[in-house]
Amino acid sequence: MQFKDLRISAPILKALEDQNYSTPTPIQAQAIPKALEKRDILASAQTGTGKTAAFAIPIIEHLHNDQNLGKRAIKALIVTPTRELAIQIGENFTHYSKYLGIKNTVIFGGVGQKPQTDALKRGVNVLIATPGRLLDLMDQGYIKLNQIEYFVLDEADRMLDMGFIHDIKKLLKVLPAKRQSLFFSATLPDKIIDLSRNILNNPVKVAVNPVSSTAHTIQQYMYYTNKSSKNELLLHLLKDPKLDQVLLFSRTKHGADRIVRNLKKKNISSAAIHGDKGQNQRQKALASFKSKDIRVLVATDIAARGIDIDKLQYVINFDVPNESETYVHRIGRSGRAGESGVAISICEPEENAYVKAIEKLIKKKIDVVEDHPFPQTDKPMTAAERKEFEKEKNRRRQEFFANRKKKKQAGGGNSGGGKKNWKKKR
């Protein structure tokens, strides 16, 4: 099956083609046809399965065919638990609707609200939001949901874990009863099923098993080192001429750019693709990589979606991902169609726990390469590393206590432990 077989309009197909998307993932193949029929959907699907396109494409198609679509009317609402997910969904809506006049905006807490309220005043058709900021702006009169025709609750189980159940129930009271609702959750425990009954009307059930195994044709290797030695270890690995075409993953956009600068200083041809790069830049970089004009393509997870390179053999994780499923998806770029592949991961001390989680998911130990010049040691961090570490720790601490507060407000009581509990959890 191809996207062109799904009764999708030409402008959306062209936008998908620009992203190098031709074949829908299992969740997309199952959900899109039913969503195009305006059926409610109860979907069990994890991050990394392509679920965003599974709901974004049908919504864009419906809005494209809406003769009464006004420039200011909010017709679709997507609610998701975190800022990162909201931004990612917004980027996807922008990509898929680039040849249409459909406007979207993203709102979330933790930042000033004026740019968000300015965007709302200009008018949007698709609103992607986290629950707290959404209800806040509704209370202030900036958002009215009386014209909503399409509602998506994304990562519902995570939403409940973070204490948003009260916010969701409050939101449901003001949504129009006549609407199409799409409900996505990685797991479907009783609480989620109960919540779905309040949201969905005679839903179609769609389930995609989580990716938990890696192709047997992919050899996996783990290099333990220190954060300060990662670049040197990467250069050491690239001295091997066999690594003639490498897809390298970075956790952040800034990290990707920094890696490329370091490689170019050593005359290693490379380019980065991420959300801050224009579409033409990304297409040019990908084309150069496919033609082997550049040796290393450095990508973030979001930008790497849709990349399909025949007979790609080498994938390097410069940063070990904190979501185990992401690791499986990354290394799955190699070893396709029975071809052999090699996946190399460079792990710093702060990422050691991620490796254990990955091994638990894939049910196997990753081979550790100990014979290299930059082994992981207990040497202290540099001042710059310590500053970055403390910044990340403080962010996680704030997130932890914010979630604890939400759970308490939602009736979960004191989740207990205060600072001691925080230290234990981190």
pLDDT in tens, 29-53: 999 999 999 999 999 876 667 889 9
Are 307 and 286 within 8 A, CB to CB? Answer: yes
pLDDT above 60 for 380: no
Residue 419 CB coordination number (10 Å) = 10
How is residue 20 annotated by DSSP? T
Cα–Cα dist 152/368, whole Å: 42
Angle 47-159-275 from CA coordinates, rounded to 5°: 45
Q: Nearest to residue 273, comparing CAs of 321, 244, 306?
A: 306
Return mean pLDDT, the chain.
86
Are 355 and 347 within 8 A, CB to CB? Answer: yes
Per-residue pLDDT averaged across 261-269, rounded? Answer: 96
State the pLDDT at residue 282. 79
Structure-token pair, residue 354: 């991620």
pLDDT in tens, 120-169: 999 999 999 999 999 999 999 999 999 999 999 998 887 887 789 899 99
Are 394 and 355 within 8 A, CB to CB? Answer: no
Model confidence pTM above 0.95: no
Percent of the chain with pLDDT over 70: 85
Are 170 and 28 within 8 A, CB to CB? Answer: no
Domains of the chain, each with CATH number or no CATH: 3-207 (3.40.50.300), 218-368 (3.40.50.300)
